[in-house]
Structure 1
Amino acid sequence: MRIKGIRGISGVALVGALALTVGACGSDGGSSDSSGKKAAEDPQSVSGSITWWDTSNEAEGPTYDKLVKQFQAEYPKIKVQRTPVSFDQAEQKFKTAAQNGKGAPDVIRTDVGWSAGFANLGYLQPLDGTPALDNPGDFMEGPLSTAKWKGETVGVPQVTDTLGLLYNKEIFAKAGITKPPATWDEFVATAKTIKQKTGVAGTQLNPEGYFSLPFLYGSGADMLDVEGKKITVNSPEAVKGMETAVELTKGDVALKPASTDGYVAAQTSFKDGKVAMVINGPWSVSDDYSGKAFKDKANLGIANIPAGPSGKAAAPIGGHNYSVYRGSKNKDAAYLFVKFMASAKSQELTAKEINTLPTRKSAYTPAVTADPAKKAFQQALTIAKSRPVIPGVGDLFVAFDQHYVKILRGDKSPKDGLDGLAKEWKDKLLKDYEIGG
């Protein structure tokens, strides 16, 4: 998942979503039994056709086609239509189809940031107690938390990701550094040492709000207090975390963050060997290996996000879930399909073939963890945390990106920038929240 995957429903839709109830959409499907009793007690008797909207990329399609064929071989009475849907269009397309009651799929692969919005509109079937949510204790706590809404599980974690510290081992060795920094203070010191001893910039920050979250989390801050209905992105702790990020833009120890295409700029600098460290996710590893700095894959180091003044380290969780449309006419077949696709066996296959990170603990088999990158990000996931689970969480990052780049480039102080962000959220998106910072 790259960062665009966090985008949520529009601000207008967010306000509307908060005013709707489950019953308002009228999409429960009438004759469809939602209990999953037949699928649980006599799965081989389940028949019919279902449609799955697959929002993965084109390169991953053959692997998912393989899994669909395996499912149909196990359940020959069920036909599955895998329909590729552009990720950038899928969220709005699903909402339109579900609202109209026509054309919505039985199963959809949703970004974790969409689940709360869809569920709040009444479009997702609760899966607790159904065959779809098979062996829930085997899922990592973080990914499973992204699939819950108001005490119900509305998705089954498919793949997951988080942020880690990626570094160039060769540059570290030239600077006499033997291990990656464990705290943000050490990160700053490491960047300065690398610049002084090698001439290479220590780091380059991605100026997108999502990538600022490890700095906030490390200071004990968060974007929101959802339960208390408070905006906390401008709390003293958050300001302290942002000051750490700003320190990395001062002097000549780091390349200045780009004001446009910041992700691409930082990624290109890293894989070309122009910076020693970046904060990025597992989706970047294949691209890293394509750069001249990592022709020897063993040169890529991956470590957990450094800890902040709070003594804790954390990074946001991304990924995708399988969800069942509440209006599906064949929920039994949909439950069995989700169960199969989210099984440890299926997750192991996708991890090996298309480099996804499993959400099930048992899917981290020796064949999967033999890949050092997957093993490292498995460890990184142990300190990951969910972003606020609210409808339209992705929209918060539209303004966050704008304010964060101003902070990093010195146009706004951390306090003024975060105060402005909090006010914009309050005025435009979170009108029922108070600013608690």
Structure 2
Amino acid sequence: MKIRLLAGPFALLATAAALTGCSSGDESDSASGPQKVTVWVMKDSVTDAFLDRFTKDFEKQHDRVDVDVQVQEWDGIGEKVTAALASKDAPDVIEVGNTQVAQYAASGGVADLSDRVSDLKGGDWLPGLAEPGRIDGKQYGIPWYAANRVVLYNKDLFAEAGITKPPTTRDAWLADTKKLNKGKVQGIYLPGQNWYTLAGFIWDEGGDLAKKTGGKWEGTLDSPEALAGMARYRELQALGKGPKDSDEAKPPQADVFAKGDVAQVVAVPGGAKIVEQANPALKGKIGFFPIPGKTADKPGSVFTGGSDLIVPEASAHPEAAYEVVKALAGTKWQSDMARTMSYVPNRTSLAKVLAGDEGTAAMAAGAAQGHATPNSPEWAAVEATNPIKEYMTAVLTGTDPAKAARTASQSITKTLNP
């Protein structure tokens, strides 16, 4: 067993295991000893305990391959992965952010795993993980885990307002928020530049942030559907005192919610722990529900964050690498990881493993309606300047929405077509 610590003094310890290679190419060098399959896992993605369980299980079942798991820092990982994919000595499996797959596929060196999708139960994958891993009809990224935003609410404030259960439709959500918004209580704290939440409203209306037509990407914030999503965001945002010119980090919305006079925020479930640390009196008083959709039969659309697994074309042991991916993406370890890390599993049918936890269960319900940002290798450059945030502030401070949307769409189009 190999143990590596490559990400500095605060990195997770990554353990390793053994598994059996399958292809003739892998077998050619196995006669002289076990193959070594190198796996890059990002810092804090999983715990030492999870890695230990995983590797021990592999060692019981496979004895011809050593898996060398190396923990990587997120800072600077883009350049490091791109360089590795271009080398002849690439790792065999790499964890990447789900929205980074297009960038790496465009740079070259990522194996096309389309013929493995059926074997991996791809028909059941969360769309927000599967879609960004699929470029021009080819599956490069294999979904590993997901996380998305839900509504965190103050149970005491809901009870005081006479609201006995969370809303399940957008109209009911808006009505409840208006009812909560009395006196010193903010019905919702929604910063003006929370563009991930806006994206969900746009997707619910059938719009998108950008679309590819005839080989060219175009910003689409000025479409009727996207403008309808912005109108909904504007209506909801007005029911609180969230700043119109900043996002959820300025000020940290967990600190705002912790004061006890805010009824709702949109955040990942783990945000509740931060709130409770800031105000222990709220412990046990925070509830969760999926962002409501247009109708009660399904939640609203959400941005799905998370990770995919890729196999470099330069992998020395592609079949053994695939077996690692298959195990990590399979039912046993997906279920274990979901319980350990409170992540959403990569398959919709596995959401039931989170049924005992209110926050992660709400997140899993929302994940079934998950989406990713536009699948362009240049999208990271859009986020770097983020004209969407500027657009939102402009609309919320009185600029004509159609005019502001055209300006933002033109900026997105320019960036996506360098």
Is the counterpart of residue 205 in structure 1 residue 190 in structure 2? Answer: yes
1:65 CA displacement: 4.1
Distance 1:363 1:90 in 2: 30
In the alignment, is the contact (CA less than 8 A) between 1:147 and 1:155 conserved in 2? yes
Distance 1:226 1:131 in 2: 24
1:243 CA displacement: 2.4
CA deviations 1:20-41 (Å, max 9, x no partner) are: xxxxxxxxxxxxxxx9645999
1:83 CA displacement: 1.2
Q: Which runs of 5 or more residues in structure 1 are unaligned?
A: 1-34, 432-437
Q: Name the SS of the counterpart of 2:174 in structure 1.
A: helix
Return the match for 1:239 from 199, 207, 227: 227
1:108 CA displacement: 0.6
Counterpart in the other structure of 2:154: 168
Q: Name the SS of the counterpart of 1:87 in structure 2.
A: coil
Is the counterpart of residue 382 in structure 1 residue 397 in structure 2? Answer: no
- After superposition, residues 57-136 of structure 1 pair within 5 angstroms as 57=44, 60-99=47-86, 101-130=87-116, 134-136=120-122
Distance 1:103 1:404, change over 3 A: farther
In the alignment, is the contact (CA less than 8 A) between 1:162 and 1:377 conserved in 2? yes
Counterpart in the other structure of 2:130: 144
CA deviations 1:221-243 (Å, max 9, x no partner) are: 21122245442111122223212
Deviates more, 1:150-159 or 1:370-379: 370-379
Amino acid at match of 1:383: Q
Matched residue count: 389
1:73 CA displacement: 3.5
Using structure 2 for the length normalisation, give the TM-score: 0.82
Is the counterpart of residue 217 in structure 1 residue 198 in structure 2? Answer: no
Runs of 4+ residues over 6 Å off in structure 1: none
1:95 CA displacement: 0.6
Q: Name the SS of the counterpart of 1:297 in structure 2.
A: coil
Deviates more, 1:63-72 or 1:272-281: 63-72
1:184 CA displacement: 3.9
Distance 1:294 1:91 in 2: 41
Q: Name the SS of the counterpart of 1:79 in structure 2.
A: strand
CA deviations 1:254-274 (Å, max 9, x no partner) are: 122274563352232224423
Is the counterpart of residue 274 in structure 1 residue 264 in structure 2? Answer: no
CA deviations 1:65-117 (Å, max 9, x no partner) are: 43234323422221122111112321221012223x15532111011111112
In the alignment, is the contact (CA less than 8 A) between 1:181 and 1:306 conserved in 2? no
Is the counterpart of residue 297 in structure 1 residue 284 in structure 2? Answer: yes
Counterpart in the other structure of 1:373: 359
Q: Which runs of 5 or more residues in structure 2 are unaligned?
A: 1-20
Counterpart in the other structure of 2:306: 319
In the alignment, is the contact (CA less than 8 A) between 2:170 and 2:294 conserved in 1? yes
Return the structure number with greater helix share. Answer: 1
* CA root-mean-square deviation: 3.2
State the structure with bigger RCO (CA 8 A, min sep 6), 1 or 2.
1
Work out the percentage of aligned pairs sharing the same amino acid: 24
In the alignment, is the contact (CA less than 8 A) between 2:301 and 2:369 conserved in 1? yes
In the alignment, is the contact (CA less than 8 A) between 2:141 and 2:309 conserved in 1? yes
In the alignment, is the contact (CA less than 8 A) between 1:162 and 1:281 conserved in 2? yes
Counterpart in the other structure of 1:12: none
Q: Name the SS of the counterpart of 1:305 in structure 2.
A: coil
Distance 1:187 1:394, change over 3 A: farther
Deviates more, 1:402-411 or 1:166-175: 402-411
Distance 1:60 1:261, change over 3 A: farther
